[in-house]
Structure formats: structure tokens, C-alpha cells
Chains A and B, each alone.
Chain A
Amino acid sequence: MNVSPLSRWLLLCAVFVAVGPISSISSVRADGSIGPAGAFIQDFGDRAINALTEEGLPTKELRSRFGKLYEEGFDSPAIGRFVLGRYWKKASKEERKKFQDLFNTFVVQTYAAKFRHYGGETFMVTGSRQSAGGSTFVISSKVEQPGGGPPIVLSWRVSESDDAYKIYDITVEGVSMVVTQRSEFTSVIRSGGGKVEALIDALRDKTTKLASKESEGGNVNN
């Protein structure tokens, strides 16, 4: 019988439901000079892996360590503004304050959890580039997995001010953390009738729910 070409693509498509393959790896440019910004990321990454992938680390301690690293290395006010997108302007002063506080808690809870599955990785900065203006950098790096799987390619966006470096984004295999977070947050605001308050409420519920996980078991490290 006659089968339309449409049937063929339907079948050809992989049977996965949520995201595309996280498998293609870009070639990493080996760059001898990583500069001070690259050195900052190398040091930061090494400390993060040491502190966060320790075996049997209870969730509470993992979050506390992650929180310290986040506060120290990331430009959280700038990230908070960015992820609100065009709604930052619409938010009142109190809303901004409430949002920033809840967002920082949320970041610590959700991103710390991602380290549960890691242990034994090595982190290496592979290159550094500076913007034309000179105050921002893209630091490329890779994380080698202990099992010998393909390395995870991370790129860090770093800004420099008053001789201090601050991270404002991490891109994992082409996916930007701040862009993803902004898409989600602005979607919540839109569903809530364009009110920042809707996002604040959703964040409050989520962080309360995630906070109760603090008493749960330790690091999986598989």
C-alpha cells in the first residue's frame, strides 16, 4: 500500500519526549594562555568540584557550600535582572527585592541538586577570549568524566569590575543557563496575566517545597 513520506519522518524521529540529544561535542580549542580570567575560572571550578562532589554529603551541607560559592563567584544581582526580562522594568521596588531573595534561594536549591550525580570529575579550562570592549570574557572549559564518557563542554561568561571577576552565565553544550531561566520565568509571568507577583508566588511555593528536601539523604555520586 501507499505510505506517505510523512509517515516516514514520524518513524525516523527518535522516540524521545522531552529534549534533543545531549551528545554532540564541539571541538575545544587548546589555548596555552588562559589569562587571569581563565585562571579565576580554573580555580573556581576546581574548588567547586572538590566541595560539591564529596561522597555522602548531606543535602543541607551541599546547599550551604553551593550557596557560598554562588555568592562569591556569580553576579547574582545582574543574573536576577536578566532572568526577569522585560518585566524587570514593570516590577516595583519591593517586588524586585522579594524576587531577588527568592531567586537566590531557588538557584541554590536547584543547581546544588545537579551535583548529586557527580564525583571524580576533572575540570580544565581550555581557552579564553576577551570582548572588544575588554570587560567581559568567554572562558571555555571541559569536564572529564571518570567513566571515560565524552567530556562535558562548559563555557563561562565572566565580567570584570574593580579587579574582581564575576560569572554571569554558564553555557552547557550550547544551552545558556540564564536564557533558559528567563524563558521559564517570563512564561510563568505571562500565564499569570503579566504580573511579577505570579512568579514570586510560584517561586515561594517551589522554594518551600524544595526546602523540605533538606532533611533527605546524601549525595548519590554514581
Chain B
Amino acid sequence: MKVSHFIGNLARITLVTLFVTACATPPEDPEALAEYEEINDPLEPTNRKIFALNQGLDRFLFKPLAQGYALLPDPVRDSIGGMVENVSAPVNLANDLLQGEFSRAGVTLKRFAINSTVGIGGMFDVASRMGMEGHHSEDFGQTLAVWGSPAGPYVVIPVFGPSSPRAITGKVADSFLDPWSYIFADEDAKIEYWLIRGGIEGIDERARVLNVLDDIEEGSLDFYATVRSLYRQRRESEIENGEQEEGMPGPSFMSQVDYSTSTDKASLVH
């Protein structure tokens, strides 16, 4: 069977699974309904099954691969990471521009020009050594967010993990924005390129969070809910380009502490 045929079928099966299976029923109590809408995970029963499947894949395939990859010497991993970054630079650049982030676009362009040439296709991060730091990743899902599109419900995709309709749409758009996808005349060659690149990117990402994820899972009562929250917050932070770090203390925390029924008022109310 041809690779492209197999992938096409996998994609179709995924979509059917996602949208045909039963959804959770929205609650009637107004407070519970507000919570239900905030969580925005109507496919939770299905999502949990796919999440469990992904955890199995992670345990027996991706995590061992990432552990092996983590054993490579630092310079080797840096080179691999650098090449992956460099390959995705055109898509980053397009999205920087579409978001009106012109100074970030400048950084992306300069880094790409220097690392592609002097840095031999991204193997050596010469740009950072020249003081041009600031690698960031932008995708069309983030661009849609900047343009005001909501993320939509939480979705867990087999193999690929947490996502949303907006992120999925963004990935489709990115594939059209990517000049590399036009240099392969043959569809199968194109697919192989995506598979290899996606595989390396994935293993590289997984290797970076080996300890972090183990700790989180060990201390977790509901790993699915934790990952859902982590994914959403990370995504939000990427969309805002980390700028909310600098934000003012929002009223969100304090207003959600219910003083009226608190048994320990003194510590917060002054």
C-alpha cells in the first residue's frame, strides 16, 4: 500500500471517530453549564480514549525513542534542532508577517539567511552567536487567533495529541504556506519528507520534556485534565508571544476566591 493512501485513510478514520462518537451531554445547572463551556471539551469521552491510546504509543514508542535521542551529545542534538528550526523558518516568516509582527519577521528572516548559508542549513546557530537571538515559532493557528478566531473545542488526535479546530485549520494552511511542499513533484516523496521531518521534530520536542512530563504525571490525579490545561495555557502564551508574563496582576485570581464563605478571611482581606 502506498504511504499516501495509508495516511489519507488514517486521516479519514480520525475525523469520523472524532465527530461521530457520542458527545458529553451539557449540564442544566447554570453554574455547571458555565464550567462546561469554560472547559469546552464536548468530545471528552472520545478524547480520553484517544489520549489513553496516545499514552500507550508514548510509553512503548515515542518516549523510548526520545530517551535514545537524549543520549546523543548536546552539539549533535543542537544541530538537529537547528536544522528543524531552519526548515520551518519560511512558514514562521509568513505567519510573523500575517500577524503584523514586523520586527519578529526581521529576526526570522535574518536568522534564516545566516543559518542557511554560514550555518550550513541550520546545523550551526551562527545567527545567535552574532547576537541575533530570538527564535520563536509561529503557525497559522496562532495567526488565526491574532485575527480573532476562537480555538473551538479541545480535540485529542491519535498520535499527534492535543489540538483544536483552529490549530488543525492552521496546520492545513501552513502546509500551503510552506515552500518546501512545492519542491517535491511526487506526492509520495512529499509525504516522506513530512513524515521524516515531523518525526524528527516530534522526537526532539519529546526529548526536551522527558523529566518535566514524568514529574507532572507522577504528581497527577487526572493526567488528561492536567495536559488539557497545560496545552491550552501554553498555546495561549505562544499566541501572545509570551507577553502576558509582563502583564499586570489580573483580577481573575482574587475574584475567584470566594471570601464570603471563606473560613480563613484574615489572610487575604486587608
B246 neighbours in A (Cβ, 8 Å) = 26, 29, 127, 129, 138, 140
Q: Does B7 reach chain A (CB closer than 8 Å)?
A: yes
A86 CB-CB contact with B under 8 Å: yes
Residue of A nearest to B224 (CB): A187
Q: A131-B249, A174-B242 are in contact. Are A75 and B268 (CB under 8 A)?
A: yes
Q: Which residue of B lies closest to A187 (CB)?
A: B225
Chain B 1-39, CB within 8 Å of chain A: the 1/0 string? 010110110111011000000000000000110010001
A-B contact pairs, 28 of them (CB 8 A): A1-B4, A1-B187, A6-B8, A9-B175, A11-B191, A12-B194, A13-B163, A16-B202, A17-B206, A18-B54, A18-B161, A18-B227, A20-B231, A22-B209, A24-B137, A81-B262, A116-B215, A132-B248, A138-B247, A147-B74, A157-B249, A169-B253, A174-B240, A176-B233, A180-B229, A184-B222, A184-B225, A187-B39
* Residue contact B212 to A22, C-beta cutoff 8 Å: yes
Q: Would you give the shortest CB distance from A217 to chain B, in whole angstroms?
A: 15
CA–CA, A17 and B227, complex, Å:
10
A63 beta carbon closer than 8 Å to chain B? no
Task: From B11, B215, B229, give the contact of A114 (CB < 8 A).
Answer: B215
A136 near B8 with CB under 8 A, answer: no
A187 CA / B230 CA spacing, docked (Å): 14
Check if A184 sits within 8 Å of B245, measured CB to CB.
no
A-contacting residues of B (Cβ < 8 Å)?
2, 4-5, 7-8, 10-12, 14-15, 31-32, 35, 39, 54-55, 57-58, 62, 74, 134-137, 157, 159-163, 168, 171-172, 174-176, 178, 181, 187, 190-191, 194-195, 197-199, 201-203, 205-206, 208-209, 211-213, 215, 218-222, 224-231, 233-238, 240-249, 253-254, 256-258, 261-264, 267-268, 270
**Inside 8 A of A68's CB, which chain B residues have their CB?**
none
Residues of B within 8 A of A8 (CB): 171-172, 175, 181, 194
